[in-house]
């Protein structure tokens, strides 16, 4: 079971049902299972997605991974390929050991010098590969921060730009457009370094709409955004002026198709699989299941409020996506707990709203939180003001005090956030 505090949370039928629905969603997108289903080895033929690779034709097979699903995926790839792997580098937020690949631990959501050094090692590996080599590349959410190689600025300056975009409530597409043009390895630059080797990328989507050019800022994908696009976003949020940098120098991403002719991008996991599994489980439990969206976006607290008003009697509303938080306070917590906090004053008896990060970390040790009448009643008894906690963006403290946090630990999964609103019959 993914949820570690199940007994503490499962105090009502609606909560127990919600937890079962969430478990079904996570089980449907388990990283090891996805790799197992999409990578098949038969003698010397490795099948990745719909394409076959004859391993006899390659002098070396390298595995390079980055993002919050990369270690789990690499472990399964190593189980499948074993000694056929020459070497590799895996950059994740969790530690671990592999026999054929080096594992490096970086920081997220903000980049650090550890990430920069790791990205440098990855570039060195890519540059030594040639036309007779195969590079199996694991691309997953969190890769934008982890695979950090700043252009025209120091790591600390890039971290500041990232932080300011997050605090201003920039959407993931805006964030990653800027990141591409402040990087020497994102936005297709990885593919440029790897050329002329063959690149087989397996991609785990955490981006609403599953645009592979935006997942981990599209390191293996020909980028269609431009320096002008990034400049407009920086101007929109007044980032250059506010962060007092010398200019936030931008660089253009590679547009020559030659760098991508030997690259095959394979999307193997997205939140649509999780959302569909959640809907199936909700139906099994007797609810009328309705999938609202797999790309839900918007201000987290407003989404929470709206979800609380949606379900009819006996209905479960299910969504995947990535909301945003405009930071005005100094509290702790992420968009999932803020979504639940935004719903607390709007849930009626029999209604439950919940949201959680599929990777298990909602910008803090909690994955997300619930909102129901039990939470609002406990908050009233403890004289906790929802408005004050929202103003301070302190959803973590509120959820902890109302015993409504969902705790999973790091799951090795990353398919954006999963949201649920249900109402008993």
Q: Could you read off the pLDDT tens digit of each residue along the chain, which spans 425 residues?
A: 999 999 999 999 999 999 999 999 999 999 999 999 999 999 999 999 999 999 999 999 999 999 999 999 999 999 999 999 999 999 999 999 999 999 999 999 999 999 999 999 999 999 999 999 999 999 999 999 999 999 988 888 888 899 999 999 999 999 999 999 999 999 999 999 999 999 999 999 999 889 999 999 999 999 999 999 998 999 899 886 555 455 567 899 999 999 999 999 999 999 999 999 999 999 999 999 999 999 999 999 999 999 999 999 999 999 999 999 999 999 999 999 999 999 999 999 999 999 999 999 999 999 999 999 999 999 999 999 999 999 999 999 999 999 999 999 999 998 999 999 999 98
Q: What is the pLDDT of residue 153?
A: 84
Q: Coil, strand or helix: which one is 8? A: helix
**Is the model's pTM score more than 0.85?**
yes
Q: What is the pLDDT of residue 425?
A: 87
Residue pair 416/207 in contact (Cβ under 8 Å)? The answer is yes
Judging by beta carbons within 10 Å of its beta carbon (0-12, 13-18, 19+), is residue 211 exposed, middle or buried?
A: middle
What does the alpha-carbon distance between residue 108 and residue 101 come to, in Å, rounded to a whole number? 21
What does the alpha-carbon distance between residue 46 and residue 144 come to, in Å, rounded to a whole number? 28
What does the alpha-carbon distance between residue 143 and residue 162 come to, in Å, rounded to a whole number? 13
Residue pair 313/348 in contact (Cβ under 8 Å)? The answer is no
Q: Would you tell me the crossing angle of helices 113-128 and 155-167 to the nearest 10 degrees?
A: 110
Let me know the angle formed at the C-alpha of 96 by 90 and 100, rounded to the nearest 5 degrees: 55
Question: How many residues appear in the chain?
Answer: 425
Q: What is the pLDDT of residue 160?
A: 87
Q: What is the pLDDT of residue 158?
A: 87
Ordered structural domains, the chain, with CATH = 6-28+272-423 (3.40.1480.10), 31-269 (3.40.50.10180)
Q: What is the pLDDT of residue 248?
A: 66
Question: CA distances (Å), 402 to each of 16, 344, 405, in order?
Answer: 17, 11, 8
Q: Between β-strands 288-296 and 133-140, what pairing exists: parallel, antiparallel or unpaired? A: unpaired
Would you give the end-to-end CA distance of the chain in angstroms?
A: 27
223 token code pair: 């980028």
What does the alpha-carbon distance between residue 140 and residue 207 come to, in Å, rounded to a whole number? 10
Q: Coil, strand or helix: which one is 104? A: strand
What does the alpha-carbon distance between residue 48 and residue 377 come to, in Å, rounded to a whole number? 52
């Amino acid at each position: 079971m993914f949820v570690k505090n199940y007994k503490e949370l499962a105090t009502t039928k609606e909560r127990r049902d919600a937890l079962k629905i969430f478990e079904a969603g996570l089980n449907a997108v388990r990283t090891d299972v996805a790799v197992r289903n999409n990578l098949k080895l038969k003698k010397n033929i490795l099948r990745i997605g719909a394409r076959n690779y004859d391993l006899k034709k390659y002098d070396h097979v390298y595995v390079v991974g980055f993002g919050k699903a990369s270690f789990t995926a690499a472990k399964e790839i190593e189980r499948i390929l074993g000694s056929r792997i020459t070497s590799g580098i895996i950059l994740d937020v969790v530690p671990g050991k592999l026999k054929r690949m080096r594992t490096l631990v970086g920081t997220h959501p903000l980049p650090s010098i550890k990430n920069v050094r790791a990205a440098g090692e990855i570039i060195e590996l890519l540059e030594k590969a040639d036309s007779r080599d195969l590079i199996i590349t694991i691309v997953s959410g969190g890769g934008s921060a982890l695979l950090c190689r700043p252009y025209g600025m120091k790591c600390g300056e890039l971290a500041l730009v990232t932080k300011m975009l997050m605090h201003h409530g920039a959407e993931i597409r805006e964030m990653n457009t800027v990141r591409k043009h402040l990087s020497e390895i994102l936005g297709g630059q990885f593919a440029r370094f790897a050329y002329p080797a063959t690149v087989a990328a397996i991609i785990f989507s955490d981006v609403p709409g599953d645009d592979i050019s935006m997942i981990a800022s599209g390191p293996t994908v020909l980028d269609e955004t431009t320096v002008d696009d990034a400049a407009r976003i920086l101007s929109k949020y007044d980032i250059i002026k506010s962060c007092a940098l010398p200019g936030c120098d931008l660089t253009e991403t590679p547009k020559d198709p030659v760098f991508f002719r030997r690259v095959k991008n394979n999307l193997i996991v997205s939140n649509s699989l999780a959302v569909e599994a959640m809907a199936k489980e909700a139906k099994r439990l007797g609810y009328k299941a309705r999938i609202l969206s797999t790309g839900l976006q918007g201000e987290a607290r407003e989404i929470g409020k709206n979800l609380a008003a949606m379900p009819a009697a006996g209905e479960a509303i299910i969504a995947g996506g990535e909301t945003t938080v405009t930071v005005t306070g100094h509290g702790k917590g992420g968009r999932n707990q803020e979504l639940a906090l935004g719903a607390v004053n709007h849930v009626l008896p029999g209604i439950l709203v919940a949201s959680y990060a599929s990777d298990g970390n909602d910008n803090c040790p909690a994955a997300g939180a619930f909102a129901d009448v039990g939470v609002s009643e406990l908050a009233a008894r403890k004289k906790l003001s929802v408005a004050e906690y929202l103003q301070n963006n302190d959803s973590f403290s509120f959820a902890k005090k109302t015993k409504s946090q969902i705790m999973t630990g790091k799951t090795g999964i990353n398919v954006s956030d999963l949201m649920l609103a249900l109402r008993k019959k």
